[in-house]
Amino acid sequence: MAPQPLIEIKIKKIEKDPRNTLVIACPEPSLASVVAIEYIIDILKMEEIGAVRIRGLPPVVAAINGEAKLPYRLFYRKDLGLVTIRQHVPIPPEVYYEFINRILDWAEENNIRRVVCLTAIPALSEKESDVVYFVTEEYHVDEFKSLGFEPIRDAIITGAEAIFLDAVLSRSIAGALIMAESKVLTAIKKLIESGRVTSHRDVMLILNQTVGQLGPDVTAALKLVKAISKIINYDIPVDRLAEHATRYSSLIEKNLEMYLKPPRETTHIPLVY
């Protein structure tokens, strides 16, 4: 018997529409991208169309109103051509590359034209701004500039964000990394650069005191939700975002706990530098 694939995808077929856009969250410590996706799914009342199971790892099942749910589920809003992935726990780093590639295989099969990955980054200057940045293939730079986003200049991208870009750039999809500046990540970066934070444990303590106890970076999440509004050409209401982030405080703590279990001691935050 042939071995089962590590990543198993069970998703309904969706209508082939040139507007179809897939939005995913790159795991990052401010969790702004995760909360932005959660909010979009809830506020737009998106339809659940499938799930992803990662085999070979200890089972993780989310309980939602008494119903057992796989932790990685896909949602769809047909009239907006929007597909998103809800992540109740972070994708394990050792399978993230395969996960992204299987999702992109499905996207190509369903004629999805654009795939964007949301993330948060430290400020690129002295203070955070409302500017939303992007990185994409050269053929699509003008498309994302026309939406009001600013191209990142002269940067090195690492971590999950780099894995996403590496996977999407070889495909016939307009893939882009969409980035909003985060006050939380800016503060941590400054502490690291000053030498006041010298270990991963110190970073973990700071994040637990900010994100884990107070909630995610709502300001960065707000920028990301507004960015998605531009991408799908639909005004997503944002008046309930702060309330939504508070409701998901337990999810935030669990995501943060799993995210901050590195294979080795490090102060590295896998973002743009």
Judge whether 243 and 57 are in contact, CB under 8 Å.
Answer: no
Mean pLDDT lowest for which of 57-71, 161-175, 200-214?
200-214
Count CB neighbours of 207 within 10 A: 22
Write the CATH number for 37: 3.40.50.10900
Domain count, the chain: 1
In a domain, 157, yes or no: yes
Q: Is the pLDDT of residue 149 over 80?
A: yes
CA angle 180, 186, 189 (to 5 degrees): 130
In a domain, 269, yes or no: no
Cα separation, 10 vs 50, whole angstroms: 5
In a domain, 45, yes or no: yes
Q: Which domain holds residue 122?
A: 15-259
The neighbouring-strand residues paired with 72 are: 52, 87
- pTM, two decimal places: 0.83
Q: Is the pLDDT of residue 174 over 50?
A: yes
In a domain, 268, yes or no: no
In a domain, 270, yes or no: no
In a domain, 244, yes or no: yes
Average pLDDT, integer, range 247-263: 53
Q: Is the pLDDT of residue 66 over 80?
A: no
Question: pLDDT digit string (tens) for 75-122?
Answer: 999 999 999 998 877 777 778 888 999 899 989 988 898 999 999 998
In a domain, 134, yes or no: yes
In a domain, 265, yes or no: no
Q: Which residues contact 100 (CB under 8 A, 6 or more apart)?
A: 163, 164, 167, 168
What SS3 class is residue 51? strand
**Mean per-residue pLDDT of the chain:** 80
What b-and-e string marks burial along 161-191, b requiring 16 or more CB atoms within 10 Å of the CB?
Answer: bbbbbebbeeeebbbbbbbbbbbbbbebbeb
pLDDT of residue 270: 39
Sign of the CA dihedral running 14, 115, 72, 102? positive
- CA nearest neighbour of 273 among 149, 162, 137: 162
Cα separation, 131 vs 112, whole angstroms: 26
pLDDT of residue 271: 43
pLDDT of residue 69: 66
Question: pLDDT digit string (tens) for 217-248?
Answer: 788 999 999 999 999 999 999 988 877 766 65
Reading the block at residue 212, the tokens are 């884990």
